Homo-oligomer: A and B are copies of this chain.
Amino acid sequence: MHITILGGGGFLGRKLAQRLVADGALGGRAISGMTLFDLAAPAPLDAPFPVRTQAGDLGDAVALAIAIPEDTGVIFHLAAVVSAAAEADYDLGVRVNLLGTLAVVNRCRALPAAPRAVFPSSVASFGGGQDARVADDARQVPTNSYGAQKAMAELLLADASRRGFLDAACIRLPTVVVRPGRPNKAASSFASAILREPLLGLATNSPVFPDFRLWICSPRSATGWFLHAATMDTAPLGLERGVNPPGMTASVAEMLDALERVAGIEARRLVQIVPDTVVQDIVRGWPSGFVPDRALALGFAPHESLDEVVRAFVAEDLEATRAERAPV
């Protein structure tokens, strides 16, 4: 079975590829090959099976046909223009997040058998705010273009599944913490920065107060859910192909407590609360809690503790982040 990761050069695409290489198989089936597809060719990976890295654009049907060969069993469709960029450039967001997903559907129609398609949708497709406890059947009323495009892509993939073009499972990911690399312009950047920067020995600010709550998950949980979505029986999903996975609600204070437990009070002291009403106005619309009963019943693993999230970042990503950010 061939596996294709669209957006395979991104943060989660890379994590997922590494996990598949380590496992060597998926749901008991041997992996015959893997394609990592992204705008720029992803870095090569040592693996017990052939790994192709391909540069291309989702919107290029020829490139997509190469990226998704006829024996593809599973597509992880992670290629996306993320929230701040989709808000800044409407056309780009529509082109990649909506029309790019349509291009994936159309490629799948040409395959001899409908592949499993795993798609990360987002908490950003919901509103609700700090007091939300989002139920499994809640309406998606997005507060930004990225969330709207994710919700549309879910509808497209559900309908394509009903028609037998592909077999989709959409995981509405929480904000993934800890993201390695540098702070970025995303309104959620602080959620990772308040853990990552102190662990690098750097000072950083929290634009929100300590009692501000976020719905988060770790890259490890996200990757685990992707693998479950790739191998689970999709029949119980019925027409509703979207799942709210069992992330966790964490306040800024709880995250800093975990930081302190893992890295000491000096690390925590590197974080200052510096209120920023622009960031607050955006992030206070995001739901801070879900009731993920359906996902748990479908076998999606519950989330690990905050301490484990911090420790996993230290073990797996801290060195690479330090190296990436070292002055040359």
A residues adjacent to B (C-beta < 8 A): 90, 94, 102, 127, 137-145, 148-149, 151-152, 155-156, 158-159, 162-163, 239-240
CB distance from A59 to the nearest CB of B (A): 13
Give 5 CB contacts A-B under 8 Å.
Answer: A137-B138, A138-B139, A139-B139, A141-B158, A152-B152
Query: Contact between B239 and A142 (Cβ–Cβ < 8 Å)?
Result: yes
CB distance from A22 to the nearest CB of B (A): 37
Residue ID in chain B nearest A165 by CB atoms: B90
Query: Contact between A155 and B142 (Cβ–Cβ < 8 Å)?
Result: yes
Query: Contact between A239 and B143 (Cβ–Cβ < 8 Å)?
Result: yes
CB distance from A29 to the nearest CB of B (A): 29
Query: Contact between A151 and B142 (Cβ–Cβ < 8 Å)?
Result: no
| Of B90, B145, B158, the contact of A148 (CB 8 Å cutoff) | B158
Residues of B within 8 A of A140 (CB): 139, 155
| Of B90, B102, B149, B239, the contact of A94 (CB 8 Å cutoff) | B102
State the CA gap A158–B155 with chains docked (Å).
15
The oligomer's copy count stands at 2
State the CA gap A239–B144 with chains docked (Å).
10
| Residue of A102, A159, A240 with most chain B CB atoms under a 10 A cut-off | A159
Residue ID in chain B nearest A136 by CB atoms: B139
State the CA gap A156–B240 with chains docked (Å).
20
Known: A137-B138, A141-B240, A148-B158. 10 other contacts (CB 8 A): A127-B239, A137-B139, A142-B159, A142-B239, A145-B159, A148-B159, A151-B155, A152-B155, A152-B156, A155-B155
Residue ID in chain B nearest A241 by CB atoms: B141
Query: Nearest 8 CB-CB pairs, A to B?
Result: A148-B159, A152-B152, A148-B155, A152-B155, A139-B139, A141-B239, A145-B159, A137-B139
State the CA gap A152–B152 with chains docked (Å).
5
Residues of B within 8 A of A144 (CB): 159
CB distance from A253 to the nearest CB of B (A): 30
CB distance from A127 to the nearest CB of B (A): 7
Residue ID in chain B nearest A90 by CB atoms: B163
Residues of B within 8 A of A159 (CB): 142, 144-145, 148-149
| Of B148, B158, B162, the contact of A156 (CB 8 Å cutoff) | B148
